[in-house]
A and B are shown apart, each in its own frame.
Chain A
Amino acid sequence: EAAVTQSPRNKVTVTGGNVTLSCRQTNSHNYMYWYRQDTGHGLRLIHYSYGAGNLQIGDVPDGYKATRTTQEDFFLLLELASPSQTSLYFCASSRGQGNYAEQFFGPGTRLTVL
C-alpha cells in the first residue's frame, strides 16, 4: 500500500509569513496532489504534478506555489500567508488513470495563519 507522509502535522504562522509544507510518497507513483479541506467546501485541488519538474495548476491556486523536486517529494509554498489560507492541507499520490486512479492520502497538515 502507498505510503504518503506530510510534515509538519501542525503549523502556526502569522500573516505575511513564509510556509513550506512537505509531502513524500514512497510507492513510485507518478501523480501527486495538494488539496485544501474547508468546512462547506470539501476538498479543493490547489496544484498537482505528474512527475519531477512538472507542475499543473489546480482549481484554487491563488497564493500558492508548488514544486516537485523528485518523484517522491512535492512541496507547497505559501510565500505571504494570509488568514484565508488557514485550512487542513492534504497531499495525495496515485499511479495514474483508469483502474489506477485511486489516490492515496497523507494524514494532513493543519495550518493556522494568525
Chain B
Amino acid sequence: GEQVEQRPPHLSVREGDSAIIICTYTDSATAYFSWYKQEAGAGLQLLMSVLSNVDRKEEQGLTVLLNKKDKRLSLNLTAAHPGDSAVYFCAVTHDSGYNKLTFGKGTVLLVSP
C-alpha cells in the first residue's frame, strides 16, 4: 500500500522566516494531495489540497509544490508567525478509492517571536 514519509518531525523557525515541510509518497497513481493543520487540543483542519494536474498552488502565505516525477509534496509557509505553531500533516489518496487518506507522521512546527 501507499507509504508516506514526512520530514522533518520537528521544525523551529523565527517569526518571518520560511518553514518548509516535505512529504514523499510511493504510489505513482496517487491523485489527491493535501495538507492539514492541527492546533493544540483540536482536530485537523484542511489547509490546502491539490489534484495531480497541479504543480503549484499559493494561498494566503502558503505554497504547495507537487513534483510527481520525484513523488514529492512540499508545504512552504513563506513568512511564518507564532500563530502558525501547530502540527502539520500531509495526506494523500488515490482517486479510485473511497477517499481513504494516508497521512504522514506529522511535523511539529514552532515559530518563535
- When C-beta atoms are compared, the residue in chain B nearest to A31 turns out to be B99
Q: Which of B65-73, B75-83, B100-108 contacts A (4 or more CB under 8 A)?
A: B100-108
Please give, as numbers and ranges, the residues of chain A lying within 8 Å of B89 by CB-CB distance. 42-43
Q: Is the CB of B45 within 8 A of A105?
A: yes
Please give, as numbers and ranges, the residues of chain A lying within 8 Å of B101 by CB-CB distance. 45, 101, 103
| B1, B34, B101, B106 — most chain A CB neighbours (10 Å) | B101
B53 to chain A, nearest CB (A): 11
Indicate whether A107 sits within 8 Å of B51 (C-beta atoms), given known contacts A40-B105, A102-B34: no
A20 to chain B, nearest CB (A): 19
Please give, as numbers and ranges, the residues of chain A lying within 8 Å of B91 by CB-CB distance. 103
Chain A 80-114, CB within 8 Å of chain B: the 1/0 string? Answer: 00000000001010101111011111111000000
- When C-beta atoms are compared, the residue in chain B nearest to A99 turns out to be B51
Q: Is the CB of B43 within 8 A of A101?
A: no
The CA of A40 and the CA of B100, in the complex, are separated in Å by 20
The number of residues on chain A lying at the interface, defined by a beta carbon within 8 Å of a beta carbon of chain B, is: 28
A64 at the interface (CB under 8 A from B): no
Contact for A101 among B1, B41, B42, B49, CB less than 8 A: B49
- When C-beta atoms are compared, the residue in chain A nearest to B9 turns out to be A40
Chain A 30-58, CB within 8 Å of chain B: the 1/0 string? Answer: 01000000001111110010100000101
B2 to chain A, nearest CB (A): 10
- When C-beta atoms are compared, the residue in chain B nearest to A54 turns out to be B98
Chain B residues within CB distance 8 Å of chain A: 1, 6, 32, 34, 41-46, 49, 51, 89, 91, 93, 95, 97-101, 103-106
What 3 A-B pairs are tightest by C-beta distance, nearest first?
Answer: A105-B43, A42-B105, A43-B103
Can you identify 24 A-B contacts, CB atoms within 8 angstroms? A31-B98, A42-B6, A42-B103, A44-B103, A45-B101, A48-B98, A58-B100, A59-B1, A90-B43, A92-B43, A92-B44, A97-B95, A97-B98, A98-B95, A99-B51, A101-B93, A102-B46, A102-B49, A103-B46, A103-B91, A105-B43, A105-B44, A107-B43, A108-B42
